[in-house]
Structure 1
Amino acid sequence: MMKALYHIEPECQIVGHDEEVTVGTKTLKFGKVPMLHWPDSSYTYLKEDKVLFSNDAFGQHFPGDDLFCDHHDRSHVSREMQSYTANIIGPFIGPKGSMEKGLGKVVATTEGDIDMICPSHGVIFRTPEDIKMALDLYVSYTKNSHIRPKVLVLYDSMYGTTSKIARAIEQGVVDAGAEVKLVNTRASDLERVATEAFDCACVAVGSPTINATVMPSIHAALGYLKGDIFQRAQELGAELGRQALEKAKKE
């Protein structure tokens, strides 16, 4: 790229997986983790200081001028990790996915001896508790054990009918003792849609019919989730909307 764009002949050394490079008194060990989340993704382990430069893994879209996780509310950091994972690495988690393979490589490279995790995005994990939290979250994602008894209701409404049905389903889920999130796709961004879908057990989708299809905001949300979340989903929940209600009445 440097040669093609800037006409610079760089002096570089290409390293492979588990290859080491000594720089002065420090040793850098490299690992390749393709599709976590790019084809050329890799990480670097600084052996003497036990620092893992994890690239996109363990990242968050977390603004702020304080670099360390232990200076923030841990639950907020974990929520931001979940949002980042849902939107950036979503298609590659779950059993036998890129995340599980990548974690195995990281453990093999570091022998589990990590004093600091420095992702490309977000805060740095430097305490044993925070490092454990980050690793445990990723392990739960690989096993799909982060999924909770939670229902996500996505809807858009033209004249209010679908909105009423969505709220009725919301109340029904509450009455059944489960958690529910009601998201109007026209009023929400796709990042929130993916984040809420990430740990839910069921997604219900409601839309009026327009031009023989769903509303544009529903189409966008489902298209985003198809590439991000639904690749690993076992089932997609309920159909709702006025036509579904009328059909149910007839039956």
Structure 2
Amino acid sequence: MKKLVKNNVDWVGYIDWELDSFHGDDYSIMNGSSQNAYLIREEKNILVDTVWAPHRFEFIENLKSEIDLEEIDYIIINHGEIDHSGAIVDLMKLIPETPIYCTANAIKSLEGQYGKQDWNFNVVKTGDSLDIGNGKSLIFVEMKMLHWPDSMAVYMTGDNILFSNDAFGQHYAVEELFNDKADPCLLDREAMKYYANILNPFSPLVSKKIEEVVGLGVPIDIIAPSHGAIWRDNPLQIVEKYAKWADAYSEDQVTIVFDTMWEGTTKIAYEIAREVSKQSPDTIVKVFNIAKTDKNEIMTEVFKSKAIAVGSPTVGNNILSTVAGWLHFLKSLKFKNKRAAAFGCYGWSGEGVQVLVEKLEDAGFKVSDVNIKSMWNPDESDFEKVPELVSSLLSQED
């Protein structure tokens, strides 16, 4: 079913209310999602992206009900990842000669996933344009590593629409389509979660790309991403948020994450939380058991935090596997300018806290020299160290 975006531009994508994970099971989805595809009808008819393979036949049938497929003049593939290109193979069986416009890297990713199909590829780069009639054109902007090497965006003149692909999107199902119709709290949360868990490693590139897009000096009335709500009410608000998020973002928050065997490490975590509130009443404090909380939700809170404390008991001369896996993910997200501290319990050898310190340093955190290493269960002598640990996390000194 089409939905009007603006003038001769319709949304022809798929809203997936039941989707609960993405990138395999690596990204959790709490509020559904969408695969946004767009149909432009000027003197030329252009399809911008498709949908995920499980929905390809429904997508093609819906597209047929809107336009004779033979009347599609061009197909734009902004990004070859399967959630955007999943219908392309079956669609091209029906219209095999239709020109496809994409980056050179997109050809590699499409052929790598679907094999060499002898499609009519047309390679574009930043600044190239395509005349679509009625005085309008499409201008291509490469978006390398946001978040694949093949990614690009397309700007439509006249209607001033930026088809931004994965930039500025969210995994969030919005039947009403637009940001002014969405729950603003959920929209902001899902946009931040998407940035923190997917785009943050590429923040330096995000900053440069924002400068490039703004530097085009063109009006932007609508930002139409490939997932979630379309930004039509003050669309540049999400660009402004990306600019902030890309600049080593943090709020006045401390997040405490841990796993435990026999609750000793839990006691330390809770005491740290109480002490943060005692020393800095205005600071937000969040506490999460890694084994019981979704990792992407935790990472969104870490993204917001100026400091974290991470705890694990020692097991097998190391740390719990739940914490080790979480720390591996933490390193991959490349957070900047954040402090950290380590804590945990042990029974015999007690290597766990030092392992935490090393892994946090490896993940780019400024790690406190103060840690809490409690034998068996924490007692008053252990809790007496908590104020100094918290003070180091709250410190403003480099």
- Deviation, 1:8, is 3.1
Please say if residues 36 and 102 of structure 1, whose CA atoms lie closer than 8 Å, have aligned partners that are also in contact: no
How far apart, CA to CA, are the structure 2 residues paired with 1:3 and 1:161?
53
How far apart, CA to CA, are the structure 2 residues paired with 1:76 and 1:235?
25
Q: Please give the per-residue CA displacement for 1:42-98, whole angstroms capped at 9, x wherever unaligned.
A: 1000011000001111011102322111001223211111000011101111xxx01
How far apart, CA to CA, are the structure 1 residues paired with 2:258 and 2:297?
14
How far apart, CA to CA, are the structure 2 residues paired with 1:180 and 1:66?
35
User: Which residue in the other structure is 1:107 paired with?
Assistant: 214
| AA of the residue aligned to 1:18 | G
Q: Please give the per-residue CA displacement for 1:94-152, whole angstroms capped at 9, x wherever unaligned.
A: xxx0100111121123x151000001111000122xx13212211111223x4111111
How far apart, CA to CA, are the structure 2 residues paired with 1:232 and 1:153?
16
Within the candidate set 12, 29, 38, 2:139 is matched to 29
- Deviation, 1:6, is 5.6
How far apart, CA to CA, are the structure 2 residues paired with 1:246 and 1:184?
18
Q: Does 1:117 align with 2:220?
A: no
How far apart, CA to CA, are the structure 2 residues paired with 1:225 and 1:6?
34
Q: Does 1:205 align with 2:306?
A: no
Within the candidate set 120, 127, 130, 1:18 is matched to 127
| AA of the residue aligned to 1:118 | A
Within the candidate set 295, 305, 317, 1:190 is matched to 295
Q: Structure 2: which 5+ residue stretches go unaligned?
A: 1-106, 347-371, 376-380, 386-398
Closer, same or farther: CA 174–182 of 1 in aligned 2, 3 Å: same
- Deviation, 1:9, is 2.0
Within the candidate set 110, 126, 133, 2:232 is matched to 126
SS of 2:374's equivalent?
helix
Structure 2 length as normaliser, TM-score?
A: 0.58
Please say if residues 161 and 223 of structure 2, whose CA atoms lie closer than 8 Å, have aligned partners that are also in contact: yes
User: Which residue in the other structure is 1:46 paired with?
Assistant: 156
- Deviation, 1:35, is 1.2
Please say if residues 124 and 140 of structure 2, whose CA atoms lie closer than 8 Å, have aligned partners that are also in contact: yes
How far apart, CA to CA, are the structure 2 residues paired with 1:20 and 1:174?
55
Within the candidate set 149, 153, 170, 2:273 is matched to 170
- Deviation, 1:3, is 6.3
Please say if residues 125 and 141 of structure 2, whose CA atoms lie closer than 8 Å, have aligned partners that are also in contact: yes
| AA of the residue aligned to 2:127 | D
Closer, same or farther: CA 245–108 of 1 in aligned 2, 3 Å: same
Which stretch of the first structure deviates more once superposed, 237-246 or 100-109?
A: 237-246
Q: Structure 1: which 5+ residue stretches go unaligned?
A: none
CA RMSD between the two structures: 2.0
Larger Rg computed on CA atoms = 2
- Deviation, 1:31, is 0.5
Closer, same or farther: CA 132–23 of 1 in aligned 2, 3 Å: closer
Q: Does 1:55 align with 2:171?
A: no
Aligned residue pairs total 242
**Is the strand fraction higher in 1 or 2?**
2
* Overall identity of the aligned pairs, in %: 31
